[in-house]
Structure 1
Amino acid sequence: MSKIFAFVGNQNRNALPGEGKGISVFHFNDQTGDMTLVSEYLPIDNPGYLAIDEKNRRLYAAVEIPAWNENMAVAFDIDPSTGVLSYINMQPTLGNTTCHLGFDQTGAMIFASNYTVAGLGARPGNAVAAFAIRGDGGLEPAFAAAIHEGKSAILPTKKRQHGHCAVVSPDNRYVFVCDLGLDRIMAYVLPKKGEGLALAPIPFTQLPDGAGPRHMTFHPSGKIAYVINELNSTVSVLHYSPENAGFTISQTVPTLPEGFSDTNTCAEIAVSADGRFLYGSNRGHNSIVSYAIADNGSISLIGWTPSHGIGPRNFSIDPSGKFMLVANQKGGGIAIFKRSIETGALQDTGKRVALQSPMRIVFGTFG
């Protein structure tokens, strides 16, 4: 019988409102939504983002510490029967404040994104770095990297780079890096091991000034992507051109109700596995916004669900599609919602997991 584990990265260094516990591992019951703590991996600093390779039973964590000029990407084995993590190795990410990890479509490479709050010109200063994954799941040293600002940049700019996610296209041809500081989605040809990061034929897609593209995700069709803009609280619909890595913005919609005027920043975005619904998180409004996806990829508002906590940095839909877990980083722990597969609607179960500063949730199914 398959076992489902939920892995939670927690802020545990200079964290508010309290000190987290590294990586927490829970058994997840997809019939009831209950989570049972089964293990913790404590000797890791600020594992803010996690990425999972279920097939090879490996977990990867980004160490996110703004005070360090270089952060780390860390590799773990997963025991499929217990969920217990075993350390493999770690590598420097060649940049500061590492906030995202993303695989290529074959699972042979992983890309680290660096938000970069180190001082201007601080070395090494890369916005994105590429790693090959060893046969045992460990990470080789980064073989490629790119800076997005200053005279060392692949496309020089006077704006402040803030790389926030690297997503490989479904056809495995390009790497797209959302840069919140430049209001651009940078586009690189997917490198082979040992190659550098070369710009794609269309090197970037420009978002409106002050939009702050943070995370993006592709629709299961592979033809459309969605980006959540952290700073102006919007979602943009992008039509993908595989011939040149270009995106055409066809629609931009707000993530907030009309009349909401308090401070808000957006964080996570995800498409349901069936491609029918899109979700985003609001930090300030403290909600999950839900949209229906039409056949042409356009989105229409369903509504807002309170996150029942403060600062929903991340959320994840369980493998059955029947539940959503929301990680409230600034207070409230993890809130568990029932999700209607038919309508996409979220309903609070009243169940909570009392973690101090949850940052990221990923599921793994084994057996």
Structure 2
Amino acid sequence: MADSGGGRRAYIGSFTSEGGAGLTAAAVDPVSGALTVLGRTVAVPDPSFLALAPGSGILYAVSETPDGAVAAFSVAEGGTPRLLAEPVPVGGDAPTHLAVAAGYVFTANYGSGSVSVLPLGPDAVPDAGGRGVRGHRGSGPDPERQAGPHAHCVVADAGWRWLLTVDLGTESVRVCRLDHSGAVPRHEVPMPAGTGPRHLAFHPGGDWAYVVNELESSVTACHWDDDTGALEPVGRTPTRPPGARGDNFPSALAVSADGRHAWVANRGDDTIAVLSLAGDGGKPELLTTVSCGGHWPRDLAVDTAGRHLHVANQRSGDVARFDLDPATGVPHQGGSLSVAAPSCVVFD
């Protein structure tokens, strides 16, 4: 949706438990990509992840709390997002991610290791009465991080035929068929042992999916068949250069609209990994890493124009803005917006 001045908008989620302002709306400069705050609301605690329903003027936010919830906001009017109804419990602990598809909101509940399915009512508000919760089972080799399931990400394919759920604890991706009842489980795809899958994004060509691995600092490239829902891991690419030392926990991945490059946020190294997707069938190649412009990059996103990368640096309290070199994909920092404890940024 356009703001009152005719431009595009960005929405930033932040941790209120860490001093964040909750949900921030900002205008996007069409040339520089700079963000200017339009309004803020703390109507929902810890709105750590956001998703826009395409063309609807509705923004959805998880509330990453022990009694997790999801809330719907109207953003059609510009300025401060308006809460449409009281947040709806998801029936799971600490939802970290959500997707809106096929008339439903889906949340990945990290704490309880489950995925919630909530139908949308005619007012676009999630309906708790029709809620379904599907628990995951399993574990991984890391006794501290993988003693049980930890669903971290839910992503629908472009055609709204499939829902993929990434579980760091069970070290797998579950593929579900989307239909009138929400999401019907079809099969579970093991990911490489010890990698800790966290986040997934599709290549715009539709034949590849990329899984960010939090415990190994790598990206797993997977063949994807949208006719059958088959997901096949074929190789891994590091997100840090050889010889890098110290703890590092990759968080999010963004793919360019032309499918030539991808970027991964490295928490610990405080860098952005620049990946080329122009090689063998779209398999990534690490080109370089650059500073994230702050500390602890939890999320990143490319703006609608595809010319700027924005990075939510949780612990330094800023959203850093980068100009993207169209030939190399290398980001060059152009500025930042001060936002306490940012955790997510999305663009309309």
| 1:13-52 alignment runs, 5 A limit | 13=17, 15=18, 19-52=19-52
Superposed CA RMSD: 1.7
Residue 16 of structure 2 aligns to a residue whose secondary structure is coil
Moved more, 311-320 or 328-337: 328-337
CA-CA distance at 1:242 after TM superposition: 3.3
Say whether the 8 Å CA contact 2:113–2:148 is kept in structure 1.
Answer: no
Say whether the 8 Å CA contact 1:33–1:323 is kept in structure 2.
Answer: yes
1:174 corresponds, among 162, 167, 170, to 162
CA-CA distance at 1:32 after TM superposition: 1.8
1:3 alignment counterpart: 7
CA-CA distance at 1:326 after TM superposition: 0.6
Residues 218-264 of structure 1: CA deviation (Å, up to 9, x unaligned): 11111110010111110011001334422111220111111112000
Q: Distance in 2 between matches of 1:277 and 1:214?
A: 20
2:204 corresponds, among 195, 215, 220, to 220
Letter of the 1:185 partner, please give it: V
2:245 alignment counterpart: 261
Say whether the 8 Å CA contact 1:5–1:83 is kept in structure 2.
Answer: no
Runs (4+) off by over 4 Å = none
1:184 alignment counterpart: 172
Letter of the 2:109 partner, please give it: N
Q: Distance in 2 between matches of 1:250 and 1:331?
A: 36
Letter of the 1:57 partner, please give it: G
Normalising by structure 1, we get a TM-score of 0.87
Residue 101 of structure 1 aligns to a residue whose secondary structure is strand
1:75 aligns with 2:72: yes
1:140 alignment counterpart: 127
CA-CA distance at 1:306 after TM superposition: 0.4
1:129 alignment counterpart: 116
2:185 alignment counterpart: 199
Residues 266-293 of structure 1: CA deviation (Å, up to 9, x unaligned): 1001111111111111000011101111
Percent identity over the alignment? 27
Q: Distance in 1 between matches of 2:307 and 2:225?
A: 33
Q: Which runs of 5+ in 1 are unaligned?
A: 117-124, 151-157
Letter of the 1:111 partner, please give it: F
Q: Distance in 2 between matches of 1:170 and 1:63?
A: 25
Say whether the 8 Å CA contact 2:309–2:323 is kept in structure 1.
Answer: yes
Say whether the 8 Å CA contact 1:216–1:226 is kept in structure 2.
Answer: yes
1:235 alignment counterpart: 219
